[in-house]
Amino acid sequence: METLVYGLEPNETRDYMESLLASNCKNENDVKKVISAASQQGYHSFRVAYYNGEKPNFANTLNI
């Protein structure tokens, strides 16, 4: 399973403009380090996601 960390660049307010900051975090401590380092550079509004390699199911996303 991959742990992905996203965040918004300094002065960015549009959620859809988030940047992928890390994809190789092995544990919660790694995530905290990424968020801490990015915060020092002005990044904000962090999001952590997990990916297991499964194919996306767009029908579920659209509630069809």
More confident residue, 54 or 48: 48
The full set of domain ranges for the chain reads 2-55
* Cβ neighbours for 50, distance < 8 A, ≥ 6 positions apart: 1, 2, 3, 4
Tokens of 54: 């499964």
Region 31-45 average pLDDT: 97
Region 29-56 average pLDDT: 94
Give pLDDT, residue 38. Answer: 98
CB 35 within 8 A of CB 7: yes
Give pLDDT, residue 59. Answer: 80
CB 7 within 8 A of CB 21: yes
Condensed to tens digits (0 to 9), the pLDDT of residues 3-37 reads 999 999 999 999 999 999 999 899 999 999 999 99
- List residues bridging with 50 in a β-sheet: 3
Give pLDDT, residue 63. Answer: 64
